Amino acid sequence: MTAAPTTTGTIGRPLDEELSDAILGAAIELLGEEGYAGLSIAAVAQRAGVHRPAVYRRWPGKLDLAIGALRRLKPPPPDRDTGRTRDDLVAYLVDSGYTKRADQQTQCVLRLHAEMGDEPELADAVEREIVQPRRRLVHRIVERGIERGELRADLDIDLTIDVLQGAIHARKGKADPILTPAEVERIVDLVLGGAGAA
């Protein structure tokens, strides 16, 4: 699977980035309106005002295009490495968009998540291309905290990440799913309270 377009086409010509943006924008709109089941290369090409080969040059199939659209909506946050585990985790969560209200386009993310139970290929691709890279980033942040002596040497990193993500998603499941920066800080402090070095 090639979720992101390459910089050159099949015969070596550079791809037009504006055209790539238009295709991704059309895919995001259609995913929000029709969901993954209703997505097709033909429909995206028509919405973007391009021929189907222009889409296939960048994304060889529907799954690749859907993942490309998700990456556009939810790009991986940077690793800020502030020198403090707490600040790194707070920055990661803020950069991940937990403190921002979703706009109309990002509704396609929610719709895709709802469809993944019926689309195992989509679920596997989202896990591999979207979820795991983010988890690896958090893993690095926690590892650095252990190396610096901020966190316990015997800390179960995966369990710590699960607890952090569980708390974040539980809070987002409330009536108002938007977290304030202060709430993010409280959650990080609570999780790190049980992970700190003696």
Domains of the chain: 17-72 (1.10.10.60), 75-193 (1.10.357.10)
With a cut of 60, say whether residue 9 has pLDDT above it.
Answer: no
> Tens of pLDDT along 80-102?
999 999 999 999 999 988 887 66
> pLDDT band at 6, cuts 50/70/90?
very low
Q: Which of 122, 120, 119, 133 is nearest to 69 (CA)?
A: 122
- Which pLDDT score, from 0 to 100, does residue 179 have? 83
Give the pTM: 0.81
* Mean pLDDT over each residue of the chain, to the nearest integer: 87
> pLDDT band at 16, cuts 50/70/90?
confident
